[in-house]
Chains A and B, each alone.
Chain A
Amino acid sequence: MSTCIETKQVSKIFGGLTAVNSVDVVVPENIIASIIGPNGAGKTTLFNCISGYYIPEHGQIEFYGMPIQGQPTYRVAALGIARTYQNIRLFGDMTAIENVMVGQYPRFKAGWVDAVLSTRREREEEKQAIEEGRRLLKFVGLEGLGDNLARNLPYGAQRRLEIARALANKPRLLLLDEPTAGMNPQETGKMTHFIRNLRDELGITILLIEHDMRVVMDISDQITVLDYGTKIAEGKPKSIQSNQRVIEAYLGPDVTSLTKKYQLRKKQRYDAKS
């Protein structure tokens, strides 16, 4: 099993704040890996380093063995890394299918001269792009909604459309930033199932940031925990659940388990009353 993406000692510094501090993450091909951590732990910053928005101060990021740190975002995308965003960022004034077609941009060649002359290449590519767009919309369950403006779609559909746009470039690695944020348990269940499908059917490696622990524990093959920019734990869901440092990062020191924290709080309340 080859390595899909690997960060080697990656650091990102904003002024005096080290948002990501010498983080090593190794994601083997065709697994679902999660990055978790409290708010401000540097998860999204790490994503932004991978997708080329930020240039890390130190370290190396390798995509199938190829160093990609410092490359412009569009080139990283063309290599096959696609992403979604914590707060949905669609091209709101474009239709759903156009969003997916923009996602296919790097796969095609036709330039403005082709467009003006309406060359065979232009027409072929346009046809392919529309067909692929329809297929992807169907795949994410948005068939028939393709001609609505993206901003008019309901929330869940927007999430799925964002994933469809990310899939349009046939990526080998998909970065999902909180895919179930703002969803009810039912929608979350559907999304979890859907993400697993992506891996199983399309063979895409998935790296996701998620706060919903049930989702994380359910679908992850590997979990990396960040806190204050540093990696504090890595491993299978089972081992993370019982990891002392992770519990401390989430719940504070002197707490060995969630049950104990709960008992502690109950006791404090009881003391206050009496």
Chain B
Amino acid sequence: MRSSAVDKGLRTGVVFGIVIVTMFLIGFTVTGAGLVGKIFGVQSSYSTPPLVFFSIFMILVGAWAGVTASPRPLLEADTWNRALLAGGSSGAVSGLFSAIIGFLFGELNSNRIDPRTYLPSVSPESIKMFLFDQTPFIGSLLMFALMTGSGLAAAALSFYLRNNGAVRSSLRKASESVWDSIRSERVSNIIQNKYTRYASLLAFAAILIILPRTWGGYWNYVFGTVGIYIILGLGLNIITGWAGQLVIGYVAFFAVGAYTFALLTAPEPHHLMMNFWVALGLGVLAAAISGLLIGLPILNLRGDYLAIVTLGFAEIIRILLKSDLMTPYTAGPRGIRDIAGPTILGKSFISDVDFMYLIIIAVLVVTFLANRLQNSRTGKAWYAINLDETVARATGINAFASKLLALSLSAAVAGLAGVLFASRNQFTGPDDHALMVSINVICLVIVGGIGNIPGIFLGAFALKGLPEILRETENYRLLIFGVLLIVMMRLRPEGFLPAKRPELEKASVQNPLGKEA
């Protein structure tokens, strides 16, 4: 029995060991230490972060290894011995891996061999930090001891928390009392009170009004981008999340919106100089029409043709915009400059705060639209097509027309995002419309929760907001995207916030959709 605990510890240790070695080789140990430093309020973007943060980072990794290896109460016997053996062996094995890699690179470094020729992220500083500023031998011993110790400590701590009656019962009591108070009539009366709802809406509105004014240009820019991606996500969700038709080249409609708007308002190359609002409408319309035209020949086919055709369409648009052929009409690879900003009664509003407001309003409008559509007759028809197109047809749904509608609405929303994007930057060029935009949008929809509006908000914040906040991780963004997608597919294939179906049978007749009166 005891050997099985060690066995599990060894296996977990190997996995964590490989993770640590990989992190070291791609330079993530430095980034991780920097992130820890950031939590403590120490910025160290361009220098190696202090050793103490690196130690904390490694202790956290070791603790994670220890907790992962420790027994699961319902499946395995949970005793002190087993917990310590598993946690300790896990920490020790991962420590061994770290020690070996540290010692090897330490020796290389002291023999003046620079590994950066092959591994550009392994700088002498990072090696020095990995060895705690000691000689390779002592450093790797320290590393081994640190990992083993943190694995043991974490396993012991988690065992204690699992099995100590006092801690457990007090935790349970606390959570129960919180739940009870949430469920109690008084609280639910307060929550469901009309005025409380107005007050919370008011508070929410106040935050949305005050925040852009106070937090400065940088955050307005970051959250403006997040907002634009929320709009894109909500749009893609219509055709991909609800109607179930994968669109890979979603950026094409974004580009059509942005370029239509740009060409209509910029002084060059056409000098049309149209009013912002008229051009906005035309940009959205142009995107919707392009969606309609793309959909017409292919949407009565089934399967992934739409994905492939839109992928091709997106690339064609980007390459056309770059080509010499189109240069007289679209300004070619240089892009279009001096795109108009919004004006109201001749007064122009182009500060970052104004744009943030504009984007917030657009997000609210699109959310409202999506929310209304979601459970409507049309929305149900989309979802029926998504789940079983053959049967949907036999229940009287014109699948072709429904899909076409979904695609053009989706394209129109992308067009709106494109207009906002071009107008905010006052510039748009072919490189703004690379395929990466589509992939980002697909990722955020999948990670957030496909088909679910709050999920898309979460996805946009996680995938576009967090990387800006955690600037240190910039280089690893694609890696993290990939890992995140794989992990999501394994653990929560329906996304962080999966879509839920409304309870219509129970809902009262007066208020059929459960909407606010």
Contacts and interface: CB of A to CB of B under 8 A. Distances in A.
A95 B503 contact: yes
B396 A98 contact: no
B410 to A, nearest CB: 12
Given A115-B372, A122-B376, A105 B394 contact: no
Contact of A102 (B381, B398, B509, B512): B381
Interface in A151-187: 165, 168-169
Interface range for A: 35 or more
A137 B505 CA distance: 10
A51 B394 contact: yes
Contact of B388 (A91, A98, A130, A137): A91
A72 B151 CA distance: 65
Nearest to A171: B396
B387 A91 contact: yes
A258 B462 CA distance: 70
A125 interface: yes
A91 B396 CA distance: 14
Nearest to A116: B372
B377 A77 contact: no
Contacts of B396: 74, 77-78, 105-106, 169
Contact of A147 (B381, B390, B503, B509): B503
Contact of A110 (B376, B390, B405): B376
A98 B507 CA distance: 13
A112 B509 CA distance: 22
Contacts of B505: 95-97, 130, 133-134, 137, 144, 146-147
B380 A98 contact: yes
Contacts of A111: 377-378
A91 B503 CA distance: 16
A85 B396 CA distance: 15
Contacts of B186: none
B388 A89 contact: yes
The SS class assigned to the B binding surface is: helix
Interface string A89-131: 1111111111001110110101110111110001101110111
Interface in B466-517: 501-507, 509, 512-513
A267 B380 CA distance: 61
Contacts, number: 133
B372 A108 contact: no
A191 interface: no
Given A77-B393, A91-B391, A130-B512, A115 B506 contact: no
Contacts of B383: 91, 93-94
A146 B377 contact: no
A182 B371 CA distance: 40
B395 A115 contact: no
A95 B378 CA distance: 16
A149 interface: yes
Contacts of B381: 102, 105
A134 B507 CA distance: 11
B393 A105 contact: no
A106 B394 CA distance: 11
Interface in A50-109: 51-53, 72-74, 76-78, 82-83, 85, 89-98, 101-103, 105-106, 108
Q: Which of B396, B399, B506, B507 has the most CB of A within 10 A?
A: B396
B395 A72 contact: no
B91 interface: no
B397 interface: yes
A18 B512 CA distance: 50
Given A98-B380, A106-B396, A129-B377, 5 more contacts: A74-B397, A74-B398, A102-B397, A112-B378, A146-B506
Interface of A: 51-53, 72-74, 76-78, 82-83, 85, 89-98, 101-103, 105-106, 108, 110-112, 114-118, 122-123, 125-127, 129-131, 133-134, 137, 144, 146-147, 149, 165, 168-169
Closest 5 CB pairs of A and B: A146-B505, A115-B376, A106-B396, A77-B396, A73-B393
